[in-house]
Amino acid sequence: MHLTIYTMKYYYAILVCLFSFQMVKGQCPSGNINLDSQSKVDNFIITYPSCTALPGDLRVAGNVTNLNGLQNITTIGRNFAIEESALASLTGLSNLKTVNGEFRMQDNASLTSLNGLQGLTKVGGSLMMIFTNVASLSGLQNLTSIGRLDLYFTNITNFTGLENLTSCNSFNITYNSLLTSLTGLENVLSTNPYVYIAENQLLSDCAIRYVCESSLPTPGIIGSTIRDNAPGCQSKPEVLDICIQEGILPVTLKSFQAKRLENDVQVIWNTTSEKDSKSFEIQRSSNGLNWVEIGAVMANGNSEKEIIYTFTDQSPLKGQNFYRLKMVDLGGTFAYSRIVNVNIAGQDLVDPFPNPVTDKLNLRADLKKLSSIEISNVAGKRFYMSDSAEQEINVKQFPSGVYMLKVNDQNGRAQIFKFVKQ
């Protein structure tokens, strides 16, 4: 009887251990994973049969010929690299939906197709292809969002297969000797498009909406680069002319600015060309990220002459006010302008000048309203203190450096100004 009880306990303990082992076995490994042999790929699904979402980086390299051992993976938490492998197919990745970081495919000489990536919908970082023999992007037809598109030294001729891609922050397309057009990228939109398109010797067709918007001149900003491609895509001015001729942009903006008028902000923009334009929506934001429409101005419709438009924001926000235009055409398509900003600050108690200063700091202010003045260096050491406001403060003996001028008024309001003593 005792032997039976002990035997049952023994087998029970074994079952518990086996169950615990299987539980651990089914979890995903923590940290980054490097699969540099076919045996490691094959053993992955055996060791982690229930693993679907990897938390870290995944790297596949070396003498790997298939990825069937990764068939359960749906999400890669960080970066995914397939480099210098012997892969000829990506069919083992059929369930992969999301790569949260960069997805890089580099130096895979036998890989000529992206079939197997049909489930992929999002790449949070860059979708990067370098030194690849892949000639078509048709395996990416369900991809809708990527952080950036980077293609160097590929064999692709166009971007057919990316028709469902709608979100991308920038393009970097360089040294692709067989590329002739950007067909397939027509549906990509961005509020601040940026492109670097260079050294693609056969690329002559790059007048798509995204590139057209990135080619618009922005005062004070160098912006996108287009150079050393075939005629039709040799420079931003050349591309912009084609965009206008083909009516890809509903409106060509010559300038867009905003300026403060006392308590209001006036938004001013000039167009040099309009085709089937419907309206301009004026949008405002306090942080440059979240936007609200504050008004609209009807467009001219069709024009080849310069037209000046204005809009007055009579209730601007305190602090930073960011403005942009949403330019809408009659068909409902639209494009955004660049972003400009105006700061609406409360009235300053004083206006210290000159800055930098060498000997005497002058205060332009209503001295009767001030109760005290204090000057300290950035380390907090006080160099000047007065309970009576003075129009002029002698700072000649102050050591050179950065100082903080603190003023208080009779109502307890305080302001701090920074100035430099030379």
pLDDT tens figures, 250-302: 667 778 889 888 778 999 998 877 777 889 999 998 877 788 999 999 988 88
Distance CA 269, CA 347 (A): 28
Question: Residue 19: what pLDDT?
Answer: 42
Q: Phi, psi (5° rounding) for residue 115?
A: -60, 130
Residue stretches of the chain with pLDDT short of 50: 1-3, 15-26, 219-220
Question: Residue 11: what pLDDT?
Answer: 53
Q: What is the pTM of this model?
A: 0.61
Cβ-count burial 122-156 (b if 16+ within 10 Å, e if not)? bbbbbbbbbbbebebbbbbbebbebbbbbbbebbb
What is the sign, positive or negative, of the torsion defined by CA atoms of 204, 209, 211, 214? positive
CB 166 within 8 A of CB 142: no
Please enumerate in sequence order all residues whose Cβ is within 8 A of that of 190, keeping only pairs 6 or more positions apart, or say none.
Answer: 167, 168, 169, 170, 210, 213
Question: Residue 20: what pLDDT?
Answer: 42
Distance CA 124, CA 106 (A): 18
Question: Residue 178: what pLDDT?
Answer: 94
Question: Residue 318: what pLDDT?
Answer: 73
**Structural domain spans, the chain:** 28-245, 251-344, 351-421
Question: Residue 27: what pLDDT?
Answer: 87
What is the layout of strands, in order, in the sheet containing 392-394? 351-353, 360-364, 392-394
CB 117 within 8 A of CB 139: yes
Question: Residue 7: what pLDDT?
Answer: 57
If one looks up domain 28-245 in CATH, what number appears? 3.80.10
Question: Residue 346: what pLDDT?
Answer: 61
Tallying the residues shown for the chain, one arrives at 422
Distance CA 263, CA 267 (A): 13
Question: Residue 1: what pLDDT?
Answer: 43
Residue 93 gets which letter from DSSP? G
Question: Residue 98: what pLDDT?
Answer: 97
Query: Domain 351-421: which CATH class?
Result: mainly beta
Whether omega for the bond prior to residue 354 falls within 30 degrees of 0, making it cis, is: yes
Fold agreement between 28-245 and 251-344: no
Strand residues in 118-169 grouped as ranges (E): 122-130, 145-152
If one looks up domain 251-344 in CATH, what number appears? 2.60.40.10
CB 375 within 8 A of CB 350: no
- Secondary structure element (H or E) that encloses residue 280, with its range: strand 277-285
